[in-house]
Structure 1
């Protein structure tokens, strides 16, 4: 399937991919921008193809960010891979069920996720600015992280996707007592695994529009690499205000598209 789109639409999608890669690398949640942008820019494309194309783009920026983080802290790679293997399984399962989702269901689900993330960010003003209190990491906590951040969030990422990076950062910081930068870096390694699992499923189903995904992926990669470097130098607190504006804007846009207000 190769939909006809204007050069202007493709350029706007590429810019959205770059911004999504930057946001995702710094604080997670780049899909909150990229997936709705694909829904708006390609309104006649089946939902499964939207999701598959989104994964093909997102994996590039996430991989670039993961490489940048793991160069600074090898522990990020080791911790991420342990949880990432479970996340890959969850993502495969989620992507399998995603093929049956229609747009009438997909938009409200994304809006619910956006509102949940917005509520968390607004109710937790220190999110992204301070590290969680340190604590012992027991075997039970590790198993909990594998179940929640691996299987659970991995399944969600394969099924829908937006907000996965943010959810992973929150889960890792809360369960494993990671500081925010380490949690963000670890989440990128996990996210690579979930993207691989989902992308394999969508590719086998022929649900990836590679002609659109390829140019968007280049921009997403550049955004991811830039965002990771900025996060390592400056932290991620400054992204909080940008994320709030983006989420509010997207909720309003999707609500208008869904109900025609």
Structure 2
């Protein structure tokens, strides 16, 4: 499949924005995946190329959170292990689904995820209550969260980072920053697993994925710096902006 200059112009700026959003609150896939579809990539190529670029970008954000001490290493490692396995299974399943059916599934899932995030009014407002969680619950929850959300990420993907943050907050009592840090580890694992599956099956458009990865790195770096600096109160506004872009894209699909 050939890559045109129009594809670069559509994908690269939106991938930068996706990386920026994803490093703060997850949900970057709500921008990046539609960007690849808008550029004309078939569904399988869109997912595979997106996972490749975002893997590199997510690694940048994960390192930033780790250096800032905003990642619980045990939770990050356990959820990453579960996420890798889940994403491997989810990606393998995605390849079994016909391209047109997979695109229809994505067109249904994307707005549903966006609406869920819109009505989650307490997003990002939780305090750190993780010390009240038992070691057993922490261990089991980390693995299960990683496995379930990782499988979703491998199959479809958008909103994965946000789902990780919400579940780490709800089940493990982490605050937004620590949840975001652990989400980066888990999301990195799922992205890498998906990248491997789609790459092996020839569903990654490398000439587009590599420059997109550079924009993803830049976006993740800028977003992580903003979040760690304590200005994460702007997360909800960023998410609303993402949702607005998504619905504009969906409207364009129907015209």
Q: Distance in 2 between matches of 1:158 and 1:113?
A: 14
Q: Within the alignment, does 1:154 sit opposite 2:150 as a pair?
A: yes
Q: Spell out, residue by residue over 1:194-232, the C-alpha distance to the aligned partner (whole angstroms, 9 max, x if none).
A: 111111111110111100001000000011011111100
Question: What does 1:169-180 align with in structure 2 at a 5 Å threshold?
Answer: 169-180=165-176
The alpha carbon displacement at 1:9 in A equals 3.1
Matching residue of 1:14: 12
Task: Give secondary structure in 1 for the equivalent of 2:157.
Answer: coil
Q: Spell out, residue by residue over 1:69-93, the C-alpha distance to the aligned partner (whole angstroms, 9 max, x if none).
A: 0001175333211111111011111
Alpha carbons of structure 1 residues 111 and 4: separation in structure 2 relative to 1, 3 Å: closer
The alpha carbon displacement at 1:99 in A equals 1.0
The alpha carbon displacement at 1:250 in A equals 1.4
Q: Which runs of 5 or more structure 1 residues have no equivalent in the other structure? A: none
Between the two proteins, the alignment pairs up a number of residues equal to 254
Q: Distance in 2 between matches of 1:134 and 1:214?
A: 38
Task: Give secondary structure in 2 for the equivalent of 1:199.
Answer: helix
Q: Spell out, residue by residue over 1:140-180, the C-alpha distance to the aligned partner (whole angstroms, 9 max, x if none).
A: 34313311x21110111111111100010001111110011
Matching residue of 2:27: 29
Q: Distance in 2 between matches of 1:156 and 1:52?
A: 14
C-alpha contact (below 8 Å) 2:75/2:142 kept by paired residues:
no
C-alpha contact (below 8 Å) 2:64/2:221 kept by paired residues:
yes
Q: Spell out, residue by residue over 1:94-126, the C-alpha distance to the aligned partner (whole angstroms, 9 max, x if none).
A: 111111334543344334433343333333323
Q: Within the alignment, does 1:191 sit opposite 2:187 as a pair?
A: yes
2:127 aligned to 123, 127, 131, which one?
A: 131
Alpha carbons of structure 1 residues 4 and 134: separation in structure 2 relative to 1, 3 Å: closer
Q: Distance in 1 between matches of 2:217 and 2:65?
A: 14
C-alpha contact (below 8 Å) 1:173/1:183 kept by paired residues:
yes
Alpha carbons of structure 1 residues 254 and 124: separation in structure 2 relative to 1, 3 Å: closer
TM-score if structure 2 supplies the norm length?
A: 0.91
Pairwise CA RMSD of aligned residues? 2.0
C-alpha contact (below 8 Å) 1:114/1:247 kept by paired residues:
no
Q: Distance in 2 between matches of 1:132 and 1:115?
A: 30
